[in-house]
Structures are given as structure tokens and as C-alpha cells.
A and B are shown apart, each in its own frame.
Chain A
Amino acid sequence: MMRTVEAHALRVSAGSRRLLDDVSLVALPGEAVALVGPNGAGKSTLLRALSGEIAPSRGMVRLEGRDLRACSPDLLALRRAFLPQVVATAFPFTVREIVAMGVGGRRDGKADAWVDAALAEVDLDGFQDRRMDTLSIGERQRAHFARVLVQLSYGESREGPGLLLLDEPTSSLDLKHQLGIMAAARRRTDAGTTVIAVLHDLNLAALFARRIVVLRNGRVAADGPPRRTITDAVLAETFGVVSAVNRVPGDATPFVLPQTAGLSS
């Protein structure tokens, strides 16, 4: 099977500090991968390196077999979409104008349909004529998620299932919309899209992803299904938190309770 994205021995440096060191990661079509780890572990850096936004000082990233450095921004935008943590909008665009930026210059019925569908998917239908700067932070985050979905739909309509990169897509959302956004991402994986998401909520990660990659100090500390990566041993090593993991009897999915956790000394 063609690998959607393949990072090989990535190193990303800022000055003398190594943000990522010897990180390798392969993701297949339809795979849902969660990136977790403590603050400053390199999760966002890895995501931005996978998107082509920052160039690694060593190693390389391939997107569907093609070296990222050889791809034009145009081509990349058709094959992968990226949701950043925070977006500052300089001018008072409306929600619909922002979401429609995902389709590039295309203006026709199909583009309108994608925009409508994406707005409905993030529960913002009825907000389309609102100015972005009048929305709450969480609503803005959902609007940008819709924009990214539209970009993905546009690219996939031309070249088949692509790659969706999400940097903390639920950080400002209430519980209902956290679940809604992750469900929308999962629906995309059912259609063949590869989704890689940075998540801070380990429970959401275990619920969403069949595979969790744990980063620590710019290196991969663990990589595998939730039951092997969300364990007391891994959490103690990476987060410095002990006995936080619990399991529902009869179900393999682990869950984390802050109430049972302690800080390792």
C-alpha cells in the first residue's frame, strides 16, 4: 500500500537546540494517528515538518512518495490540509469567506456545496455571514476546521484521499464540539484520508486514534495502539505522572483519570 506520508530520521534545529531528533514516522491511508507528549516535546514541530512548512536540517519527508522539498505549495495544498493551533485574521472577513478560502480560486456550485457541508459538519451553519472577529475563540477554531475540511475536499475531489494534519483541534472547544470535531475527523479516515492530530487530551486521543505516537524531548518515546502507549510506564517516563491509567473491565481502551494520578518525584 502506498504510504501517505513518511518521515525519515528527521532533525529540526532552532539555533543549537534540537526540536526534533531522529524522528521517523510512517502513516498509511485511512490511518488515524494521535501525537501526544508534554509541552515542548516537538509535536507541533513534527506536524509542521510533515506539512512542509519548516524544512528539516537532516532527514526527509515524503508525501505519497514525493520528496516534500520538490513539491510546489500549490501541489502540497491539494494533497494535505493543515489546521494550526491559532490563526489571527487581519481583516474582518466573514465566516463563509474564511471557509471558502479553502477552495482556492474556485467559485461554483460545487465549491459552495463543500462550504455548506463543512459549515454543517462543525455546527456553524447559520454563522456564515458573521464576522470572524465577533466569534468566540472556540467558534473561530471550528470555522478554521471547516476551512481545512473544504481544502481537503477540494484536493481529494481531484487526486483521491489525502492527508489531514490537525494541531490541537479541540483546545478551545466544549465537550460536545470536541466529540463532534473528532468524529468528523474519523469519518474522513473511513473514506481513506490519513489524519494526524496533535492532542493534549489523552482520553480523546485513545478514543480517536488507533495509533498513538508519544514524543518526548524531540524523540519518539512510544508508538503503537492506545493499550500499549497509554500505560503507567509510558506516562511516568514522559509526563512524570504516576498511576493515572485505568481500564474499563472487558474493554482494551485505557482512560486517564487525574483523580488517581500523582506527580512522580
Chain B
Amino acid sequence: MTQSIAREEPTRTCAARPRRRVVRPWLLPGLVLALLAIMLAAASVGAAGLSPTRIAAALGLSASHVDPALVERDRLVLWSIRLPRIATATLVGSLLASGGAIMQGLFRNPLADPALVGVSSGGALAAAATIVVGDRLFGGQHGEVPSAILPLAAFGGALCATWILYRIATRTGRTSMAVFLLAGLAVAALANAGLGLLVLLADDRQLRDVTFWLLGSLNGATWWKATMLAPFPVALFISVPFLARDLDRWSLGEAEAFHMGTDTQRLKRFCIILVSAMVGAAVSLAGIIAFVGIVVPHLLRLAAGPGHRLLLPASACLGAGLLLAADTCARTLAAPAEIPIGILTSLVGAPIFLALLLRQRTGFDP
């Protein structure tokens, strides 16, 4: 019977086939290798250039023929300046990119970004308020806010914004993601208005601090700051197996995810808490860095498909590599001055994003 009925254009089946399948097994190992290479490059360039042999000697990895005094100086540069900054950049990049991937999954929209829904704005408002108002409370005449308070305030602000959004969007135990998104836009607008007011109130030095923070910077990274970020990627990697399965199902809709066995309310709550903690932590240490959270997952979806099992860890790796590369450029291109990294990521990220949109305009509308 089936012979008489022609199959519907079987030739079309080849269209999307080979690339994803070829890319997939190599993607993660390739990204990890690339990240390591960028790390090595980032460790060697800067005000004091270090060749790979000198890096190895300073880290005690090779018997050195280098002058011991030089080794001692290199070690100081590496351990107290370069490596903490590399670690922080890597962690911030991985948090921003994987946070973006989760948030896009949660909103079922490839354009969702933590900056869009008030998480970053809440953190920025709290940070600016700390700089401007806190200065008067803590600092007296010339003092600055103790450096530990700023990240804590930013983190608190990000979580607080999320908590407000969650309460607004949740009725009778169900969270509406559409309401969450709309309320997020409103909260972001409010926070930006508050930022504007603070900028008006700020004196010159405060203004410079606020601006620098808003544009993003990894200047002043320490081991202590990097350590504060470290738990978040660990939490992400532990949760990938079930988070990936549930986010995949979630992309068919809330009802479908439920029918396939996902506790949808728990998934929403978990993702919201995880993303706001991850992004809040990244924002609190590095300021606002745009586009990493959108461009990275988008690139990876094009290369390897939207399955979250690969997308989440790959986003973390690629985000880490890209942000580390951007930060290395930020501190070397205009040395001894430093370009705010948020400017660099937007400057490079936005055209890339537009080019991708131009190349591939299908697949966005359901």
C-alpha cells in the first residue's frame, strides 16, 4: 500500500543534517583546549611580558635556567596580579554566558538576557547607591566605601530585584514567565531612573567610580574575589543533567514539560534563583558586561543545536574564553590605560550578533 503513495520529498532530509552531528563530539574538548590556550596567552601578555618558559619556571613546573631574582619577580606578577585576574575573568564569563543560556531556555526566547529583566540593573543600582550614598555614610571626608561592601551590595541588589519580580509574577503558587518578563522590563526602567538620579547627585570622583563600574571592569581582581565566584559554576555543573533535560522539555511549553514529568514550578524557581545568583555574583565583581549572555549561547545553538545538555557547559567554556580574551585586550590595547571591558564586549559582540541575524533569519519565530 505504501508503495503507491510517494513519500513527502525525502531529499529534503539532508538539509540540516551533517553539521551538528560532526560538531557535537568535538565541541566541548575543543572549547576547553581553546580556553587553556587563551589562559596561557593572557598570562604571558601585559606590562611585564612573560614567555611561556618563564611562566613555567615561575610556577615551578620546569627546572629553570632563569635568573632566580627574575623568577621571584615573575612569580609575584603571576600569583598576585595575572592569575587572580584570569581566574575572575574566566569565572565571570562562564557565569554570564551560562546564565544567559538558562534564562533564554526559561523564557523560551533566544533574545532573553539577564540585563533585560532587571537582574543586572538591580545590582547596578545597589552598587551606584553604595558608591554615592554609602560614601557619605561610611567614608567621611575623603574615605571610600570599603571594597568588600560594593560587591555585596550589588549581589544583594540583583537578588532583591529578582525576588520582587518573582513575587509579582507568582499567583497561587504558579509563576507566569510572561508577567516576570514584563515586570522585569519595568523594574529595569525604574532601576535605570534611579541610576540617573544618583549620577546627578554624585560628585566628580563618585561619578567616575559609578561610570567605571557601569561599563564593567575586572581591574582589582583578587584571589578572594575569584573564590567567591567559584561555587556558582560548580552548582551549575552539578545540576546540568536534570536541568538540561527539564529545559529541553520546557522548550515545548509549560504544559508539555509537565506532561513529560517535569515539576514546572520547581524548575522555574530553581532557574530564577540560580540565574540571579550567578549573574548577580558576576555583576557584583565585574560591573555590567553586555552581550556575552546573548551571543555565546546563540553561536553555540547555531553550531551544535539547542539541546541544553551540551549548550550549558559549552556556553560556560566559550563565555569564559571570550571574556578572558576581551579582558586581555582591555588591559593591553591601550596600556597603561585600561578600556572598560563592557565597551569592548558591546563593540565586538553587537556587530557579530547583527551579522548572525543577517546570515540566518529563520528559526526565531515558532
Contacts and interface: CB of A to CB of B under 8 A. Distances in A.
Contact of A97 (B5, B8, B17, B305): B305
B307 interface: yes
A98 interface: yes
B16 A90 contact: no
Contacts of B20: 94
A104 B108 contact: no
B203 interface: no
A104 B108 CA distance: 19
Interface in B232-268: 241-242, 245, 248-249, 251-253, 255-256, 258-264
Contact of B261 (A76, A130, A131): A76
A190 interface: no
B331 interface: no
B363 interface: yes
B366 interface: yes
Interface in A55-97: 72-74, 76-78, 81-82, 84, 87-94, 97
Given A77-B261, A82-B259, A134-B16, A93 B245 contact: no
A127 B17 CA distance: 10
Interface string B141-184: 00000000000000000000000000000000000000000000
Contact of B305 (A53, A76, A78, A93): A93
Contacts of A98: 252
A133 B362 contact: yes
A126 B7 contact: yes
Contact of B259 (A81, A93, A126, A136): A81
Sorting the interface of chain B by its residue count into under 10, 10 to 19, 20 to 34 or 35 or more gives 35 or more
A73 B258 contact: yes
B306 interface: yes
B61 interface: no
B307 A90 contact: no
A101 B17 CA distance: 19
Contacts of B15: 130-131, 134
B319 interface: no
A204 B16 CA distance: 36
B301 A91 contact: yes
Given A73-B264, A97-B305, A131-B363, A53 B241 contact: no
Contact of A92 (B5, B13, B263, B363): B363
B221 to A, nearest CB: 35
Nearest to B267: A73
A77 B21 CA distance: 29
A45 interface: no
A76 B259 CA distance: 8
B80 interface: no
Given A87-B256, A88-B366, A134-B16, A78 B251 contact: no
Interface in A110-136: 126-127, 129-131, 133-134, 136
A133 B363 CA distance: 7
Nearest to A176: B5
A151 interface: yes
A84 B255 contact: yes
Contacts of A249: none
A66 to B, nearest CB: 16
Contacts of B8: 136, 139
Given A105-B245, A126-B7, A133-B362, A91 B251 contact: yes
Given A97-B307, A130-B13, A134-B12, A90 B256 contact: no
A101 B343 CA distance: 40
B176 to A, nearest CB: 15
Interface in A140-180: 151, 176
B260 A90 contact: no
A102 B249 CA distance: 9
Contacts of B264: 73
Contacts of A136: 8
Given A53-B258, A77-B261, 14 more contacts: A48-B255, A51-B259, A53-B259, A76-B261, A87-B252, A91-B306, A93-B306, A94-B16, A105-B242, A126-B13, A129-B17, A131-B363, A133-B366, A134-B16
Those 6 A-B pairs whose CB atoms lie nearest each other, nearest first: A77-B261, A91-B306, A90-B108, A82-B259, A90-B251, A88-B366
Interface of B: 5, 7-8, 10, 12-13, 15-17, 20-21, 108-110, 241-242, 245, 248-249, 251-253, 255-256, 258-264, 301, 305-307, 362-363, 366
